[in-house]
A and B are shown apart, each in its own frame.
Chain A
Amino acid sequence: MAELMPLPDAVAELVSDGDSVALEGFTHLIPFEAGHEIIRQGRRELELIRMTPDLLYDQMIGMGVVRRLVFSYGGNPGVGGLHRFRDAIENGWPRAVEIEEHSHAGMANRYAAGAAHMPCAIMRGYVGTDLMAHTTVAPITCPFTGETLTAVPALRPDVAVVHAQEADRDGNVQLWGIPGVQKEAVLAAQRSLVTVERIVDELELKPGGVVIPEWVITAVAQAPGGSRPSYSLGITDRDNDFYKFWDKMSRDREQFTEWMNENVLGKEASRT
């Protein structure tokens, strides 16, 4: 049963040092504000899970929050690489980060298995690649056809954090546009936090909208603009210029630290 609470309280209650946390949102609806609150509260030693680390995990890695990273594509979409992600893996700055990497298909199936409370998912993939030797997957024989397939282990994060356009006062959530793996992440996790652009009296169902009922969500927090510089379709636009700016600015450790101090540590989450 979802509890509506201010974002700082939700993060304090749900996310502890050392937890495995999946902040999801595939290009769209990335929960930046919640991630920033995790940084502000000084969480450490997190295992962060996310298909596309994007700028948010670049920031969290650069701030030393992350012990281990599970991912499938660590780039700045359409722009280039992620410099803090690279610096951590190539040079161990500000700390070494252990990695476990997969393909998108693998990660998507791992979340789906987690949501189904299955131990693994079965798919065609990974074979012939060097990824096989560097990640956790295993061959499995189909008992019906004899075909060799690939099993990937279920993801069961301690906490899933996602952003959506709206929730009602009971905490039922609706998101629309690109749905990514948010529903799977929420259902796979032990606890979940959904930040929303707005709280409404009643959800007005959208065509293609995904509704997540309040009884599978732990906490809902209002965070208007909380997906910026990603976006919440119909409410905010993706700030493509910021993604390009990040590519230039974040190359330098000092500039990065200064930017984070000013724009993340130096700010407070709204308590609405």
Chain B
Amino acid sequence: MTATTTEVTAGEVQTIVAARRLRHTKTVFIGVGRPSTAALLARMVHNPELILVYESGTIGAKPFRIPLSIGDGELAETADSIVSVPEMFNYWIGAGRIDVAFLGAAQIDRHANLNSTVIGDYARPKTRLPGAGGAPEIAASCGEVIVIAPHAKRTFVEKLDFVTTVGHGDGPGARERLGFRGRGPTAVITDLGVLEPESASCELVLTQIHPGVEVDKVREETGWELRVAEDLKTTEPPTDEELAKLRELLDR
């Protein structure tokens, strides 16, 4: 087991940790990229009954390969049900029928609010990013949100350039005041560790660190004064099965 784990990349650990979070989940909403890989891996290793929901309207998709887009043909061909976009957002996401949503972002702040709109000024942006997509309403209404992002100072910032998606707003009570029904972000999974909102302050603190990563490194890559949980855990290294299945999936 040690032989394989030494070769594990940080990205593989991140995907495997995200997949583990779906052990007891019934329905997961996913975008493309690492979230999709993690959800497919969860179906292979932990939770074969996991229902994958993509915003293209495919409910219960069972792709063999990792899709490039959220609307690849294989998602439609393997879905239990395919619905229109208005139906997806109103009857399924908005109604709170999805347990967990995976989201990414270009910037995230200490209360897990997300920016995927612009870097710089809105009217004259330095970098124009794709924009909101489904994220604001997904984050408001799904049971909980798990953010997946690379851990870097330009991503984990003190202040967002633009609030695209509300996580925990300005802290405790913010979601209730805004009328959101989902619990919001419960974890941010990075290539260095896992951050979770502390219940009293809703501030993200480091609760788990991946094998071989130093706490100082995580602090260095975080744009605010990162606090570390007293009972900081070390991520259980990927098992041979997790790693083999992940690599098989990526090779398909």
Interface residues of A (CB under 8 A from B): 26-28, 51-52, 71-75, 77-79, 81-82, 85-86, 89-90, 101-105, 108-109, 111-112, 123-131, 134, 147-148, 177-181, 183-184, 208, 210, 231, 233, 237-238, 240, 243
Given contacts A28-B71, A127-B178, A238-B69, contact A108 B132 (CB under 8 A): no
Verify A27–B132 contact, CB threshold 8 A. Answer: no
- Chain B binding site: helix, strand, loop or mixed by DSSP? loop
B250 within 8 A of A: no
| A-B contact sample (10 more), CB < 8 A, given A73-B130, A73-B134, A109-B89 | A28-B76, A51-B85, A71-B131, A79-B68, A103-B136, A123-B94, A130-B117, A130-B163, A131-B132, A131-B164
Count of B interface residues, CB-CB < 8 Å: 54
Residues of chain B within 8 A of A131, CB atoms compared: 117, 132, 136, 164
B129 within 8 A of A: yes
Residues of chain A within 8 A of B77, CB atoms compared: 233
Verify A78–B133 contact, CB threshold 8 A. Answer: no
Verify A178–B82 contact, CB threshold 8 A. Answer: yes
A148, B178: Cα distance in complex, Å = 9
B25 within 8 A of A: no
Contact of A89 among B84, B90, B128, B140 (CB under 8 A): B128
A154, B122: Cα distance in complex, Å = 25
Contact of A134 among B32, B67, B122, B141 (CB under 8 A): B122
Closest B residue to A52 by beta carbon equals B133
Residues of chain B within 8 A of A105, CB atoms compared: 89-90, 93-94, 134, 136-137
Interface residues of B (CB under 8 A from A): 32-33, 55-58, 67-73, 75-77, 82-86, 88-90, 93-94, 117, 122, 124-137, 140-141, 162-166, 169, 174, 178-180
- The number of residue pairs between A and B whose CB atoms lie closer than 8 Å in the complex comes to 175
Residues of chain A within 8 A of B58, CB atoms compared: 178
A26, B82: Cα distance in complex, Å = 12
25 sample A-B contacts, Cβ–Cβ < 8 Å, listed by A number: A52-B133, A75-B130, A77-B32, A77-B68, A77-B71, A81-B129, A90-B127, A90-B128, A103-B137, A105-B137, A108-B89, A109-B89, A112-B86, A125-B94, A125-B137, A129-B165, A130-B163, A131-B136, A177-B76, A178-B58, A184-B86, A231-B73, A233-B76, A238-B69, A243-B68
Residues of chain A within 8 A of B67, CB atoms compared: 78
Contact of B57 among A102, A180, A184 (CB under 8 A): A180
Residues of chain B within 8 A of A52, CB atoms compared: 133
Verify B132–A104 contact, CB threshold 8 A. Answer: yes
Closest A residue to B58 by beta carbon equals A178
Residues of chain B within 8 A of A51, CB atoms compared: 85
A240, B86: Cα distance in complex, Å = 26
Verify B85–A181 contact, CB threshold 8 A. Answer: yes
Residues of chain B within 8 A of A126, CB atoms compared: 136
